[in-house]
Amino acid sequence: MQPEPKHILSFKTALTAGTIRAAADQLELEPSTVSRNIASLEKQLATALIERGRKGVMPTEAGLLLLEYANRQSGEMEALRSQLDALQNMERGAVSVALGEGFVGDFSQSVLAKFSRDYPEITFSLNVGSTDQMTDAVIEDRAHIGLAFDVAPNPRLNVIAQADRHLVVICKWGGQFDATDKVKVSEFADLPCALLNKGYGVGAVIADMEASHGFRSRAVMETGSIAALKAFVRSDLGITLLPEFVVADDITAGNLRARDVAVSNFGSGKVSLFVRQGRRLPLAAQRLIPVMARSLVALNG
């Protein structure tokens, strides 16, 4: 059992003040109350803590040990208050973000660079995976914030921001699958494709498109890695289907090209920024959310 703070306070004050009466005056208590508090402490610890003499009270060896302990506790409490103040002023903190691989570049360039300049002591943990894995991470409190494509409605999730995004055909710029016309749905049966697994939002949307438009993609590779999809396309082995923002840098660099599909709203899905419903987030996460909502290309075009 931990000693009661009021008993520790009476003990420390008696030693610093020199007498029980002086301690009582400082604490605005009766001398008998200060004596009872010290006696209760001695009973709890089963040892004498002070010695009374003509010049006042002095600590025993056990009392010195307790005094050192009490001083350490005071120092640790002071350090804790300092750390709490730092958190309150956003000088320190940690945020865990769960996001799909396709958002990593956007998050790093659009959000992390600026936020880290404003709050250099905030640290980040990025959990990268499928849409299902990211929603589970937020629901199970393994991540503060989630960012994913085609998140299924869930009463345990609070969607902060959302934007419609559709899939496009990604091919190598100037490669054998590059053309100016739109891709017809019937072509997917012959075009070699590298696609994300069904556990990813993109994979789920493609499966829905296959069912609703009556086609079957010629999937020569399925993967959980967007890096693998990009390598497949850069090597001119075929095409892939992704939201355009995922490969925006490659398109700007002239490595890849986006081609639309000749079907209205083909591969339509939503990018969602979300947290667990009812969770009280740390201040750093609270500050990060609006920055993500207004800065991410995936949410703002």
* pLDDT tens sequence across 119-145: 888 889 999 998 999 999 999 889 999
Of 61 and 79, the structure prediction assigns the larger pLDDT to 61
- For the chain, give me the number of helices (H) and strands (E)? 12, 11
Q: Does residue 181 register a pLDDT over 90?
A: no
Winning range, highest mean pLDDT, from 16-25, 84-93, 153-162: 153-162
Q: Is the dihedral of CA 84, 90, 93, 94 positive or negative?
A: positive
Backbone phi, then psi, for 167, in 5-degree steps? -85, 145
CB neighbours of 18 closer than 8 A, spacing ≥ 6? 55, 56, 57
Percent of the chain as helix, strand, coil, to the nearest 5? 50, 25, 30
Ordered by where they begin, the domains of the chain are: 5-87 (1.10.10.10), 97-162+271-300 (3.40.190.10), 163-269 (3.40.190.290)
CA 249, 255, 230: angle at the middle one, nearest 5? 75
Confidence of residue 1 (pLDDT cuts 50, 70, 90): low
- Among 52-56, 94-98, 172-176, 216-220, the range scoring the smallest mean pLDDT is 52-56
Q: What is the pLDDT of residue 146?
A: 97
DSSP three-state, residue 27:
helix
Backbone phi, then psi, for 300, in 5-degree steps? -120, 0
Report CA 67 to chain centroid distance, whole Å.
41
Q: Does residue 75 register a pLDDT over 80?
A: no
Between CA 198 and CA 212 the distance in angstroms is: 16
Q: Which of 165, 202, 186 is nearest to 262 (CA)?
A: 186
Q: What is the pLDDT of residue 258?
A: 94
**CB of 287 closer than 8 Å to CB of 145:** no
Of 164 and 201, the structure prediction assigns the larger pLDDT to 164
Q: How many CB atoms lie within 10 A of CB 8?
A: 20
Task: State if pTM tops 0.75.
Answer: no
Q: How many CB atoms lie within 10 A of CB 209?
A: 22
Q: Does residue 78 register a pLDDT over 70?
A: no
Average pLDDT taken over every residue of the chain: 89
CB neighbours of 79 closer than 8 A, spacing ≥ 6? none
